Chains A and B, each alone.
Chain A
Amino acid sequence: MQGFALYPFDPPGDIAALRADLRAWLAVNQPQGDVVAQANCWASFDAGFSRALGAAGYVGMTLPVRYGGGDRHPLERYVVIEELLAAGAPVGAHWIADRQTGPLILRYGSEEQRERYLPGIAKGELYACIGLSEPGAGSDLAAVRTTARETPDGWRINGQKIWTTGAHFSHIMLALVRTEEGSERNAGLSQLLIDLDTPGITIRPIIDMAGHHDFNEVFFDDVLVPHGALVGERGQGWKQVTAELGLERSGPERYLSSHALLVALIDAAGPDPAPELATLIGELTAEMWALRQLSMSTAAKLAAGEDPMVEASVVKELGNAFEQDMPRRVQAIVDSGWDDEDDLAKLLRALLIASPSFSLRGGTREVIRGIIARGLGLR
């Protein structure tokens, strides 16, 4: 990891115009509802918004035109994503499909899969979930036990996924399953693209400590999917999932998803803030600015076709710490009642409760630090 270069963030085209157009579009189309929906906004589900965003060309931007995409550069998409997050737009419905499932189908999927799924993803109408975690396979993902056996009729799936965000509103799951009988650890795994309306699939909600229904248990009971559900190469699931996680961990959502709280803090402090508020705003701004530089450099490396697994982990680790720290530090300084109904109080309460999940989802802090340590040449 030592001495690795910072990649210049240099997207093609008129980026100022791209930002201006999107901001103008958001001014008309972003729902002006509850401010809490703006915090942690990539978990805010709004199918109508996703569809409108897709129609405006802001979903599936990097996919080829023949699949309904915009053929745009990945860094143009990055600019759009950071604008949407900074505005607190409700991007949760299409988020996973746009961020990782679409690109994975494009990279590893068959022509049939691309034609079947990518246009719906680019329209902001087809939603996806990630079938990785299982009851016995959390941080230890290689312990996956859900099986898919090849039969003359297709793949027969048995097992269970858990903590599956958005399974209840998703159309498809990209699942990591054990296709090779008797295989162990990260060998013998494959990725299957499963239509969630297939008979034998049961989805049960898990309500989180904030009272929200984001994640689910998904049970597979003799579920039969066609041979064509296999994505990429049989037995290469681990390698493909690693590439998928690079997309999942490197984005600006790791530092920008609770930007609404910083906005509310600055507005509450006013143009002539008390010294302790000015100090806090200054410290949070410096951290956010540095994180943005790291995130942009990582995106540029990814766009250059390289594997930024370690850099992505650095962004995730620092971003998670920033986003967990922010509500705590705001609460320590701002006199705000737990049940107050002003924007700052509502955001503070929501993010204090949501923040423990930040260093769990997408890889725990301990796993992420382990990846960084390996990148340093330890182990």
Chain B
Amino acid sequence: MSAAREMLCDTARAVFAEAVTAGIAPVEEAGFGLLLVPETENGFGGDWGDVNAVLQIAGVVVPDLPVAELIAGEALQPAATVSLMAGAMGQALSLSIDHVNTRQQFGRPLGKFQAVQQSLAVMACEVRAVEAAAAALASRLDAVRLDVIAADFEIAAAKLRANRAVGVVAAIAHQVHGAIGFTEEYDLHRVTVPLMRWRGAHGNDAFWAARLGRQVAALGGRGLWKAMTARGA
């Protein structure tokens, strides 16, 4: 990550932490609404890679505030939601790892049990896939200067992949946490409930699958690979 993006992320963490109690006002005051506005127009001049990084933090810290709407327009909300989801899933994984390494039963940490290890490995794979999807979508959006028509394939694939991961990630996170993860006091629901909401927002599985499926069908069997490789790398 570039030094400029590191600084941006540090700022986001600090501002979002304040916003947890203060609401969206400090986020607006800090100028996050200008993230994508060019420097020539007195904006930050950021790209979608920056937005992806910032929204992954927002997805963990302030999932209920309209940060994505502040940064990007309606057409980019499906892409923005993928970043929020990647962040929230990373946090669900992090909380789960901490919990199973700490919580002891039968005289040892839960993380020592193979059944728990295998579950967390499955969850980690899903989280990695969504992080990769968010990053690949960001590089496509930046390559086509945020033209959502030119990035339609990647938006559909990334949102669909993220949607499909929600079921696995939220289920395993709650399962390995046991009862404490089901309490209001514990932080897990602060990411799992937004994940459930985001799966249905800006296009659920059926919406994107049908759309992507029709697009691919029009390419023909061999056309899929040609299109995929022509669009990146």
Contacts and interface: CB of A to CB of B under 8 A. Distances in A.
Given A259-B225, A366-B118, A377-B97, A6 B213 contact: no
B209 A283 contact: yes
A6 B224 CA distance: 24
B17 interface: no
B121 A370 contact: yes
Interface string A72-103: 00000001001100100000000000000000
A19 B229 contact: yes
A262 interface: yes
A378 B212 contact: no
Interface string B200-233: 0000011011111110111111101100110001
Given A2-B94, A289-B228, A373-B118, A283 B164 contact: yes
Chain A's interface: helix, strand, loop or mixed, by majority?
helix
Contacts of B101: 377-378
B79 interface: no
Given A2-B93, A289-B157, A314 B217 contact: no
Contacts of A270: 217
> Which one of B100, B120, B158, B233 has the greatest number of beta carbons of chain A within 10 Å?
B233
Contacts of A370: 114, 117-118, 121
Contacts of B132: 6, 290, 293-294, 297
> Which one of A264, A267, A286 has the greatest number of beta carbons of chain B within 10 Å?
A286
A290 B120 contact: no
Interface stretch (B38-46, B65-73, B122-130): B122-130
B224 A286 contact: no
B121 A372 contact: yes
B131 interface: yes
Nearest to A269: B217
Contacts of A5: 1
A378 B229 contact: no
B55 interface: no
Contacts of B220: 266-267, 271
> Which one of B97, B211, B218, B221 has the greatest number of beta carbons of chain A within 10 Å?
B221
A263 interface: yes
A272 B217 contact: yes
A124 to B, nearest CB: 23
Contacts of B219: 266
A378 B209 contact: no
Contacts of B156: 282, 286
Contact of B209 (A6, A286, A318): A286
B209 A15 contact: no
A376 B121 contact: yes
Nearest to B208: A282
A360 interface: no
Contacts of B114: 370
Nearest to A256: B225
Given A266-B224, A293-B135, A369-B118, A318 B129 contact: yes
Nearest to B138: A6
Contacts of B122: 317, 369
A6 B131 contact: yes
B90 interface: yes
A279 B213 contact: yes
A296 B135 CA distance: 12
Interface residues of B, number: 56
A281 interface: yes
B210 A290 contact: no
Chain B's interface: helix, strand, loop or mixed, by majority?
helix
A375 B217 CA distance: 39
Given A273-B217, A279-B209, A282-B212, A314 B133 contact: no
Contacts of B131: 6
Given A262-B224, A263-B222, A290-B129, A379 B111 contact: yes
Contacts of B128: 294, 311, 314
Contacts of B133: 289-290, 293
A282 B229 contact: no
A277 interface: yes
Given A279-B210, A379-B117, A286 B164 contact: yes
A262 B125 CA distance: 23
Contacts of A15: 233
A263 B216 CA distance: 10
15 contacts: A9-B233, A263-B224, A279-B206, A279-B210, A280-B213, A281-B213, A282-B213, A285-B212, A290-B132, A294-B128, A366-B118, A370-B117, A370-B121, A373-B111, A378-B101
Interface of A: 1-3, 5-6, 8-9, 11, 15, 19, 79, 82-83, 86, 259, 262-267, 269-273, 275, 277-283, 285-294, 296-297, 311, 314, 317-318, 366, 368-370, 372-373, 375-379
5 closest pairs, A vs B, by CB? A282-B213, A278-B213, A263-B221, A282-B209, A373-B117
Interface of B: 1, 90, 93-94, 97, 100-101, 111-112, 114, 116-118, 120-122, 124-125, 128-133, 135-136, 139, 153-154, 156-158, 160-161, 164, 205-206, 208-214, 216-222, 224-225, 228-229, 233
